[in-house]
Structure 1
Amino acid sequence: MLGALIGDIVGSVFERAPHKSKEFDFISERSRFTDDSVLTVATADALLHGYGYMPVFKYWGRSYPNAGYGQKFYRWCLSDSDETGESYGNGSAMRVSPIGWAFDSLDEVLEEAKRSAAPSHNHPEGIKGASAVAAAVFLARGGKSKDEIRDYIAGEFGYDLNRPLETIRPEYTFDSSCQGSVPEAIIAFLESEDFEDALCNAVSLGGDSDTQACIAGAIAEAFYGPVSKRWVTMLNILLPQEALRVIDAFNKRYLDSRYNFFCCGQESAEGRPSENGMPYELLNLSPGSCRWWVKELGMQDEVWAFVTESEIPREASVYFSTDTPVIFDQLCFKSFEDAFIALNRNGFDLYFENYAEGGGPGYYTSAPRGRFRIEPHPLFSSGKHWI
């Protein structure tokens, strides 16, 4: 399941920006989670609590309205009707990977994959795409070889998985249908040498990069084993806590607690007040250049924070600001990772400028603007409101 989320974030930069090479930076300033992650978490939420898929998909979709859904899906998501959608898009396949982990037999996985597709993708191709990906995840986690996975998926679903990527890549273009993207995403996994290579293969197709990397990553995690700590750290930083709590619960129930999530109390990072006070060089910093974190306090109030290198090389300082913007407090950490861990544990979510409209964690009207002022007030450095 985590492989799907990681693939989505890695591929997000290249969606509709074709990249025909395996050489690229996995993470950049533009990396973000998209609808693939939101709805994968929604599927996990439904499995954990026995919710119906339709209300869960609509809840999560409405909570994160600017995550990049297809127009037809989002119209369905906003509708109060119980009518099913007839889409054959790859949305059914991108969100299905938790099902491959949650059941003990292939028959159960296939039946549940069909149920998960039906609310919005009740078309034979939409159901086929979801079923193929869920089956591939199940077979991969069960120790089947790539040849066994290839033969089963090709035989059961009729996908041509014998085409090498080098012949697909040159003429391949963006295609969001199941039949035009799921087989290629599975091939990206089949030709991979490890988890990261599966993501590189998927992105290098130059198609629906976030969804195809999501699918390839989901199967690759199940096949190659747990992803490295750096990927888990990335998810802890980029995903909202509402999602992390669902992922952690799924991790504990179905993945034998193989991963640690900062927001759930399994990591700690201590901050300390600055010995020299807040440097007034901050007044020369533009709020628009900061990568902001935000914590909602209620009544439409929020506290903002950003992280910079501290006076000690390789250490990090977190500065806290109002939206006006007034910098009022500071904490120092031994590393940027410790700073990110602490912000997450204390209820801060990473702010996404391109998600500025809508609701949900990290989705606020706008980040602080104007010129900074400094008015010290030890709200967090006193330790009273910081864990």
Structure 2
Amino acid sequence: MEQNFKMVAKTFFGFEEILAKELQQLGAQNVEKGTRVVSFVGDKGFMYKANLSLRTALKILKPIKTFKAYNDNSLYKGVQSVDWTEYLSEHNTFVVETTLHSEHFNHSQFVALKTKDAIVDQFREKTGKRPNIDKDFPDLRIHIHIDRDFATISLDTSGASLHHRGYRSATNIAPINEVLAAGMLLLTGWEGNSHFLDPMCGSGTILAEAAMIACNIPANINRKEFAFERWKDWDSELFDMILESLLKKTREFHYTITGYDKAPSAVSKAKDNIRNANLDDYISIRHEDFFQTEKMCEGPLHIVFNPPYGERLNIEMERFYREIGDTLKRNYPNTNAWFITANLEALKFVGLKPSRKIKLFNGKLEARLVKYEMYEGSKRAKFN
């Protein structure tokens, strides 16, 4: 019977609640929210399942040791207190990554070097040989987090950030991060219960994530590799069994998912990415200028998009955001429209009052995810 252990899933600011909900729905134990992290307990099979399934996790770490570290000597001794032969052999490679919030240590490279020395020295003493560093394709990724007086050593179970889903081969000028896209969709309440439109779809990320949520397809099904596949205790049979059980839980989708973009190059890239994700049965992408379109479906419509902010695209913001509001008002009745923007000034020109505003970050930019409810006829008529 596999033993349970603690894990920590890293995420974006504002996604802690939905990540905790994802973990609970997957069957995690002892789920606890922090800032940009959610901790939980599970076994090795659940570690595989979490990496495959979680839409709003950036990385999943497995803590193996916590100790006091207030100088280089205590750091060295703490790292040496771990029996590294459990995780590495002298023929393997490793890399050390660091996160520091401490008065005692302010150079991440120094901490990484000291950690490396402690591991290498332990192997030299035991075997006369040492494992080597490989920054690009290591067999083991070690993460050191120092918070004030305490250091935590974790193993990185994921490898490259989990936003690297594996389906996006082509991008535009300002592509949205896949985890940010999935988290936005979950915050809007999207579950696949209506038609869906991204009217400025760019390279198709929001469309792909919307389809995977609607069909309950594991978020990282197209990913090439996870870090745990290089571990000494890697169990490919267990992984295949977990994957098969997840694929049995996919569901049918009875509505449409549509993307528009006015740039032919974006339409072409989006189609490539959707094909890479094996989602072309669910998604149609058309070369359209949103401002020249109207609602094409019967019944409710769920809109989510990522319009330009003016950071990397040179457009006239005031006019552009006014046209967003005018198009929604004029042509999209019975619609819940959500979009994210880091141009908080431009929101004033939409000309509609948002029913919700959620603070998020797109990279380092503070942003708002805003909701506009477009009623059939007037709002007054709806409530009479």
Structure label with greater radius of gyration: 2
With a CA cutoff of 8 Å and minimum separation of 6, indicate the structure with the bigger relative contact order. 1
More helix by share: 1
* Shorter-chain TM band: under 0.3
> TM-score, normalised to structure 1's length?
0.27
> TM-score, normalised to structure 2's length?
0.28
More strand by share: 2
